[in-house]
């Protein structure tokens, strides 16, 4: 039913699974003895983070933050609103921020600076998707699943107006749906 709104599949379920396993192996290697805390940025990260966490063969704690800059639109408002803060103290901890997509970079730049004030041992960013064509902030990810086009994509946790997160692939949303 919801597939009718998708113009084309950009990353298949199989491509995503393979890349998530590779990212998990990289993080496992880099953090084997560091006991990181994985900080998921809700809501978009939840599918990616669940799969990624199962691919990490190292001790790790999990926490979440809920931040918003989009509302129900397709472009960021630029104002970052923290709706849920961390439950754990991150001082002297290795933090990996898990995000679904690095788009404008406004949210992640703000979040990284916000968390740096808590004196972690380190902060790295892991994003499933990187969309550099829309970057407004000077930020990049340390772990990237895929570079993606400057098109409106949904699925595998990414939404439009809270819909399409449940697709097991990432597809390009038909323009007539969001225009």
* Catalytic residue status for 138: no
Half-sphere exposure of 38 (CA within 13 A, CB side): 27
Catalytic residue among 51, 100, 103, 159: 103
124 touches 99 (CB < 8 A): no
Tokens encoding 22:
């590779």
User: What span, in angstroms and rounded, lies between the C-alpha atoms of 163 and 43?
Assistant: 12
Residue 174 three-state SS: coil
Which residues form the catalytic set?
103
């Amino acid at each position: 039913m919801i597939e009718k709104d998708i113009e084309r599949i950009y990353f298949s379920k199989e491509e995503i699974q393979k890349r998530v396993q590779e990212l998990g192996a990289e993080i496992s290697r880099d953090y084997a003895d560091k006991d990181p805390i994985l900080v998921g940025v809700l809501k978009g990260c939840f599918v990616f983070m669940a799969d990624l966490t199962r691919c990490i063969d190292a001790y790790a704690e999990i926490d979440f933050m809920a931040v918003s800059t989009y509302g129900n639109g397709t472009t960021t408002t630029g104002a970052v609103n923290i709706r849920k803060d961390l439950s754990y103290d991150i001082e002297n901890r290795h933090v990996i921020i898990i995000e679904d997509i690095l788009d404008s970079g406004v949210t992640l730049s703000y979040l990284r600076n916000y968390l740096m004030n808590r004196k972690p041992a380190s902060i790295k960013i892991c994003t499933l998707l990187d969309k550099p064509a829309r970057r407004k902030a000077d930020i990049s990810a340390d772990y990237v699943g895929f570079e993606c086009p400057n098109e409106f994509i949904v699925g595998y946790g990414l939404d439009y107006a809270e819909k399409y997160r449940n697709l097991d692939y990432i597809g390009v949303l038909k323009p007539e749906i969001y225009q």
